Amino acid sequence: MNPAAPDHTFSVSELNNQIKQILEMEFSHLWLEGEISNFKHHSSGHMYFSLKDAESEIRAVMWRGLNQSLRFRPEDGMQILVQGDVSVYTPRGQYQIIVNQMQPAGAGALQVAFEQLKAKLQEEGLFAAERKRPLPAYPTTIGVITSSTGAAFRDILNVLERRAPYVRVILAPARVQGKGAAEEIVEGIRRLNRLENIDLIIIGRGGGSLEDLWPFNEEIVARAVVASERPVISAVGHEVDFSISDFCADYRAPTPSAAAEVVARDTRELMAELQGTAQLLQERLRSRIDRFKAQLRTLENHYAFKMPAQKLATIAQRVDDLFSSLERHTVQHLKEETQRLTNLEQQLRLLHPEHILERGYSITRDEDGQVLKSPEALEPGQKITTQYHRGNTVSEVKNIGDTDE
């Protein structure tokens, strides 16, 4: 018996699409908390990961257009809150949550981003003390990067006018909060570095929330501070506020006013220091004059000044003695050298070939004038020349070897 035919048969695609519609209608704009696992930031820019708790997990995706605004970097093991819509990836029949918003569970996104960037730059050595440069002792021109209308710039000018009116200030105006502020701060650092007379640079602003101060926590600002050819002072917020630029800068000032006090010493302090230096120089000069006077009195009482003629006579006699001694040594040395040369000449004469010929020996050469040391190099009929003490003879070779002919 054949089973009854079904009223309707679903294809796999139809079933997945209907499930997709149901899930998207029932589970939209929901908040979900879980731990990230299997995180992958695809080359396309999309983020793929799973959210899990102790008993189960769900796949998740956050498209590139949405994740570009994240202030922190998602990582495996991070506990997060997401807001999104449940959907189905129909080609695989896999349901997942499409994430529209993401934030760390517990600590805020900005604080997580701050700690992540801090750890990264510290590992690269950007915070190392040995990298930081000393501030110039007496700067005459200071570059300032801050808002032209903010209280920070007015505070810096007030301190400098009171303590060091001789210091020239060049402002590179930049937004210090909101979108585009970090880029303007970076451009200000580069612009001031192109000016030859800048001694150092102050970047900063007044207090505010972590989000208000965020441009000074951007990686591009941190790297621009490190790359600056001029020393940089970071003066961001209040004394309790810390920014990434504080760690990267050559000097961290708790406030903009404190930065101005550090770089410009009070003229009253300088005058007191100059007076102290002048007094010290005067005392040292007086001490040297007294020492020279004592040396002069010693010279005045010296024997050489009391009886100069007798002293000169003694010196002249000593010179005569030295000259006589030198003359004797010179004559003796010449005699010894002459005798040595005579001996060498006799030895050379004994070794000269003509001296050997006088004793009855002779020298035989071939037709090329080469001295013959053995008969093996000769051939019958070859001409040879024999040199005696007096005269030469030319012979023709007839036989070679042991023969009486």
Contact in structure between 211 and 230 (CB atoms under 8 Å): no
| pLDDT score of 308 more than 70 | no
d(CA 67, CA 50): 16
| pLDDT score of 371 more than 60 | yes
Q: Tens digit of pLDDT for each residue in 45-64?
A: 999 999 988 889 999 999 99
Pick the closest to residue 205 from 141, 153, 142 (CA basis).
Answer: 153
At residue 3, the pLDDT reads 60
Mean of per-residue pLDDT scores for the chain: 84
| Of 324 and 56, the one with more pLDDT | 56
Confidence class of residue 74 from pLDDT cuts 50, 70 and 90? Answer: confident
Pick the closest to residue 212 from 237, 244, 183, 245 (CA basis).
Answer: 237
DSSP assignment of 95-133 equals EEEEEEEEEESSS-HHHHHHHHHHHHHHHHTTT-GGGPP
Q: Is 316 left (phi over 0), alpha (psi -120 to 50) or beta?
A: alpha
At residue 350, the pLDDT reads 67
> Structure tokens of 10?
């679903």
User: For the chain, where do the domains classified as CATH 2.40.50.140 start and end?
Assistant: 12-106
Give the pLDDT mean for 56-85. Answer: 87
Residue 192: is it exposed, middle or buried by C-beta count within 10 angstroms (0-12/13-18/19+)?
buried
Work out the end-to-end distance of the chain between its first and last CA atoms, rounded to an integer number of angstroms: 143
Residue given tokens 């003695």 in the structure block:
321
Q: Hey, how many other C-beta atoms are within 10 angstroms of the C-beta on 253?
A: 21
Contact in structure between 98 and 64 (CB atoms under 8 Å): no
| Of 300 and 216, the one with more pLDDT | 216
Q: Which CATH superfamily is domain 115-265 in?
A: Succinyl-CoA synthetase domains (3.40.50.261)
Give the pLDDT mean for 262-284. Answer: 77
| pLDDT score of 312 more than 80 | no
Residue given tokens 């006799």 in the structure block:
346
| pLDDT score of 405 more than 50 | no
Q: Hey, how many other C-beta atoms are within 10 angstroms of the C-beta on 120?
A: 14
| pLDDT score of 219 more than 70 | yes
At residue 99, the pLDDT reads 92
d(CA 168, CA 365): 98
Lowest mean pLDDT among 218-232, 301-315, 331-345: 301-315
Give the pLDDT mean for 161-179. Answer: 91
Four-way CATH pick for 12-106: 1.10.3210.10, 2.40.50.140, 3.90.550.10, 3.40.640.10: 2.40.50.140
| pLDDT score of 193 more than 90 | yes
Confidence class of residue 169 from pLDDT cuts 50, 70 and 90? Answer: very high
DSSP assignment of 295-347 equals HHHHHHTSHHHHSHHHHHHHHHHHHHHHHHHHHHHHHHHHHHHHHHHHHHHHH
Q: Hey, how many other C-beta atoms are within 10 angstroms of the C-beta on 186?
A: 22
Burial 135-152 (b: 16+ CB within 10 A, else e): eeeebeebbbbbbeebeb
Share of the chain above pLDDT 90, in %: 32
Residue given tokens 């991070």 in the structure block:
78
The H or E element that residue 166 is part of is none
Confidence class of residue 306 from pLDDT cuts 50, 70 and 90? Answer: low
Three-state secondary-structure class, residue 51: strand
Give the pLDDT mean for 196-202. Answer: 93
> Structure tokens of 106?
């517990």
Q: Tens digit of pLDDT for each residue in 171-189?
A: 999 999 988 999 999 999 9
Burial 265-300 (b: 16+ CB within 10 A, else e): beeeeeeeeeeeeeeeeeeeeeeeeeeeeeeeeeee
Lowest mean pLDDT among 56-65, 80-89, 110-119, 300-309: 300-309
| pLDDT score of 295 more than 70 | yes
| pLDDT score of 309 more than 80 | no
| pLDDT score of 1 more than 60 | no
| Of 304 and 257, the one with more pLDDT | 257
Three-state secondary-structure class, residue 49: strand
d(CA 60, CA 31): 13
Helical spans, DSSP H, in 264-307: 267-300, 303-306
| Of 265 and 126, the one with more pLDDT | 126
Give the pLDDT mean for 210-232. Answer: 92
Lowest mean pLDDT among 52-66, 142-156, 318-332: 318-332
At residue 336, the pLDDT reads 82
Q: Phi first, then psi: give them for residue 297, nearest 5 degrees.
A: -65, -40
| pLDDT score of 325 more than 60 | yes
At residue 304, the pLDDT reads 63
| Of 397 and 228, the one with more pLDDT | 228
